[in-house]
Amino acid sequence: MSYLDTTAEFYATVAQTPEVGLCCVNSETVNLPDLAIPEVMQAMNYGCGTTVQASELANQPTVLYVGVGGGLEALQFAYFSRRPGAVIAVDPVAEMRDAAQRNLAQAAALNPWFEPEFVQIVAGDAFHLPISDESVDVVAQNCLFNIFEPHDLAIALQEAARVLKPQGRLLMSDPITTVPIPEHLRQDERLRAMCLSGALTYGEYLQHLAQAGFGQIEIRARRPYRVLDQATYQLDHDIALDSLDSVAIKTPVTCGSPKIIDLSADSAVISNGQAPKCCG
């Protein structure tokens, strides 16, 4: 049995018995006018920050959402697109797909503008997206890719890049770690599934996005997330984890490396090697 099976089992359980604040902090849900969120869907917010970046959601985009959870962000994306099939939500865990479907039916009862057909929930996983090349405007995932081991993360990012149209956006939120997480925790499949021990450092995270070919990467927010404390996790010192919200754009890499814009820094930082000289 691999860590991916452990992860699937874990989410099958928490699909049936929601756990508030399960794998991430109780981050504030994005509030949108005329959007009411069912209580159970809110309780199943198993995400970190948010991937719902309103500035990227003009013109009713087609959104592929990977790892549906309770359906909260799928509903929020549907709020912007408002047409049948505009949001395609992929999840390998049948119990989670069923829970999301039930929660979306409740959302339809609460929100006159929303129809369950706006979100199409399909079986599939991040490594083999059941979607053709260059077919969606946005791919989003919240608090899933951090669970993946580096080799699998590279495949998941390649898959996201494959299905995005040119200039499409990959919207992500994940925990990152301020110092490398020791091997004994990285090998703990349950902690990994809980989004606690698979986190990469900021540099490693950006490196993976760069290797997947995204030409521009924007960090939209970085917030304190969790502390792995010395006593509980058999560590020499506490380890602070942050959550990172990012937007990666499928645009050609210029000057040999992606342009990185960190809007979470005290003053926005732009870097891509020689950008000012060779790109004007």
Ligand X SMILES: C[S@@+](CC[C@H](N)C(=O)[O-])C[C@H]1O[C@@H](n2cnc3c(N)ncnc32)[C@H](O)[C@@H]1O
* Touching ligand X, residues 151-210 (CB under 6 A): 195
Binding test (CB under 6 A) with ligand X, winner from 18, 38, 61, 92: 92
Helix axes 94-110, 3-16, angle to 10 degrees: 40
Pairing assessment for the beta strands 87-91 and 119-123 based on DSSP bridges: parallel
Binding test (CB under 6 A) with ligand X, winner from 62, 63, 73, 181: 73
**Euclidean distance between CA atoms 199 and 143, whole angstroms:** 10
**Euclidean distance between CA atoms 8 and 6, whole angstroms:** 6
Instruction: Give, in degrees to the nearest 5, the angle at Cα 234 between 231 and 235.
Output: 90
Over its C-alpha atoms, the chain yields an Rg (Å, rounded) of: 18
- Pick the closest to residue 146 from 121, 122, 181, 98 (CA basis): 181
Contact yes or no for 222/211 (Cβ under 8 A): no
129 binds ligand X (CB under 6 A): no
Binding test (CB under 6 A) with ligand X, winner from 38, 47, 61, 175: 47
Q: Which is nearer to ligand X, 11 or 214 (CB)?
A: 11
Q: Which is nearer to ligand X, 90 or 261 (CB)?
A: 90
Q: x/- binding map, residues 233-272, to ligand X, per CB under 6 A?
A: ----------------------------------------
Q: Which is nearer to ligand X, 156 or 181 (CB)?
A: 156
96 binds ligand X (CB under 6 A): yes
Q: Which is nearer to ligand X, 73 or 137 (CB)?
A: 73
Q: Which is nearer to ligand X, 174 or 262 (CB)?
A: 174
Please report how close the Cβ of residue 196 comes to ligand X at its closest, in angstroms.
11
Please report how close the Cβ of residue 277 comes to ligand X at its closest, in angstroms.
40
Per CB under 6 A, the segment of 40-48, 79-87, 203-211, 244-252 that binds ligand X is 40-48
Please report how close the Cβ of residue 252 comes to ligand X at its closest, in angstroms.
28
DSSP, collapsed to helix, strand or coil, labels residue 120 as strand
Q: Which is nearer to ligand X, 50 or 81 (CB)?
A: 50
- Pick the closest to residue 49 from 275, 232, 264, 271 (CA basis): 264
CB-based burial of residue 186 (10 Å sphere; 0-12 exposed, 13-18 middle, 19+ buried)?
middle
- Pick the closest to residue 228 from 278, 262, 177, 263 (CA basis): 177
Binding site for ligand X (CB under 6 A): 4, 7-8, 11, 23, 45-47, 66-70, 72-73, 90-93, 96, 125-126, 142-144, 195
